[in-house]
Every structure is written in C-alpha cells, then in structure tokens.
Amino acid sequence: MKSKSKPSKNPKNSGPRGSKRSSLSKRNHPTGNMGKHKRPGKIYGFQEADARLYDIFRNHGFENYPHAKRHQLVRFYELLMKQQMTENFTRLISLKDVGIKHFIDCLKICELTEFQFPLVDMGTGPGFPGIPLKVEFPDEKMILIDGVRKRIDFLKQIRKKMNLENLDLMGRNVTQDFVYPVKGVITRAVMDTSDTLRNVSQCLEVGGKLYLMKGPNVDEELDRAQETWRDYFLLTEDHAYTLPNTPHHRRLIVFEKTKTPDYQPKLEDDWDD
C-alpha cells in the first residue's frame, strides 16, 4: 500500500460537514468531457466483432477470458455503438479503443482487489465500469447510478437485451444526501477524491469500500483527501498498474469507511426502474 501523510493544502476542501468545492482529477475519463459528438465509422456485426475482440483480449493479457462473457461484451459494444450514432455517450468509437480502454480497463481491476456487494457504480455514464463488472459477477447485486436520464434509459435497454439480472438502475446524482446503504461504491468519474468521499459518506456502510479508478498522478489529491477525511476513511489499497501491452498507466485506490460523519441528509427524489 502506498500512503503518505503531508499536511492538507486546503483542509476545508470537501470536508465532512459538507463543503462542496469540487475539482477534477487529471485523468481524462473516456466517457466524460467528450466534446464534439463522434460517430463510429463502422459497427461490426456480432461474429466479426467477436473475432476482433478475441484478438484484442489475446494481445492484451486476457487470452483466457471466458467466451460466454466475451460474447456479452460484444453485444454491449454493438448496442453502445448503435446508440452512439444519435447520443454522445463516449469518445471511444473504434472496437480496439472500446476493447482496451473500456472493457480491459474495467476488467483489469478484478485482478487487483476483492469487491464488496451490493456494489454501486457511481456516475456510471453509459455503463462503465458497471456493465463489464456485472458481466464478470453475474450473481452479485449491483446498482448503476447516473444523473442523466437518457443514460439510464439506455441502460434499461442494455439490462433487458443482455438479460442482466440482479441489476438495479437509479436516476440521480450520488451526494451526501444519498443514504441507500451499500457495502461498496466504485467510480471511474473524474471527481476529486475528497468530493467523492464526502458524497458516499452517508450511503457507504462502516467497513464498506470505495474503489476509485484513477490516472497515475493523484498523489497530492490523495494527500488532501486523507488529511480531510482521516477520521472517517482509511486508505487500504493503492495499486499502480498498466493496461497490458499498452502505455496506459492507472491507479486503483481503495478506501475503507471507519465512521459515519454527523450530517442530516436532505430528502431527495430519484427516478429509477
């Protein structure tokens, strides 16, 4: 575990009492800040997409990935790219990029840590990392949450067409006022770590885990978060790794909740399935 203890440069940033100052991490999330709507030039049919994804997985450390699960990911690719023709859901539109920077990016972390369920995917976008993780853990309860209605509507189609069970969808943002009790929260969104800890501080059970999929340059961000939230969260895992046979460096950060901050949540409505 990699852990440091420098003084906080801004101890009021996203503290337990609800300061809402927000900043972005340096990692550019593949489904965030997408800019111009990019449409796929070609969407492969199932058989060709499956053969190509098999080669991508074989060349990037996933040669033993089960065929049945890969077939589900191919189906997800097809549905996502068809939706991308009309909705700007992702900046990754080639099968190679989707295979490496979406699928392998989401699956690699399964080799690094053990997840606690029920698991919330916070700010899932069009389903990352939630759908690949649901394919990997078909029997475990997962909850995909996003504040954009068209993404939740798309995920309802995914759930139905891929026959995904024990998968709940919730339309809202995860904030400090979200109190649905869960044992795990994962996010690949670009929110600052301190802000994320604040937002899960009421829903995550004591002993529950927060899994942060980050880029490599997050040391200062982690220092601030540990200083601000040291009475409530403990950094338990810090994995630096590279997506196999690529130059793409990543960090998986895991915090365990040790105590619930005093806070009176406000009632909020959500729209779900």
Cα distances (angstroms) measured from residue 44 to each of 28, 101, 124, 133: 26, 18, 24, 23
- The whole-number pLDDT of residue 267 equals 75
Average pLDDT score over residue span 229-241: 98
Q: Please tell me the distance from the alpha carbon of residue 37 to that of residue 16, in angstroms, as a whole number.
A: 38
**Domain covering 113-272 assigned CATH 3.40.50.150 in the classification:** yes
At residue 239, the 3 state secondary structure works out as strand
Average pLDDT score over residue span 224-251: 98
pLDDT in tens, 97-123: 999 999 999 999 999 999 999 999 999
pTM above 0.85, yes or no: yes
pLDDT in tens, 77-91: 999 999 999 999 999
Q: Please tell me the distance from the alpha carbon of residue 79 to that of residue 8, in angstroms, as a whole number.
A: 44
At residue 251, the 3 state secondary structure works out as strand
Distance separating the N- and C-terminal Cα atoms of the chain = 39
Cα distances (angstroms) measured from residue 166 to each of 51, 144, 163, 179: 29, 11, 10, 20
For residue 3, pLDDT over 80 is answered with: no
Average pLDDT score over residue span 6-15: 44
Dump the DSSP string for 159-218.
Answer: HHHTT--SEEEEES---TT----EEEEEE-S-B-HHHHHHHHTTTEEEEEEEEEEE-S--
Q: Please tell me the distance from the alpha carbon of residue 140 to that of residue 186, in angstroms, as a whole number.
A: 14
The reply to whether omega before 11 is within 30° of 0 (cis) is no
pLDDT in tens, 123-166: 999 999 999 999 999 999 999 999 999 999 999 999 999 999 99
- The whole-number pLDDT of residue 225 equals 97
Average pLDDT score over residue span 220-239: 97
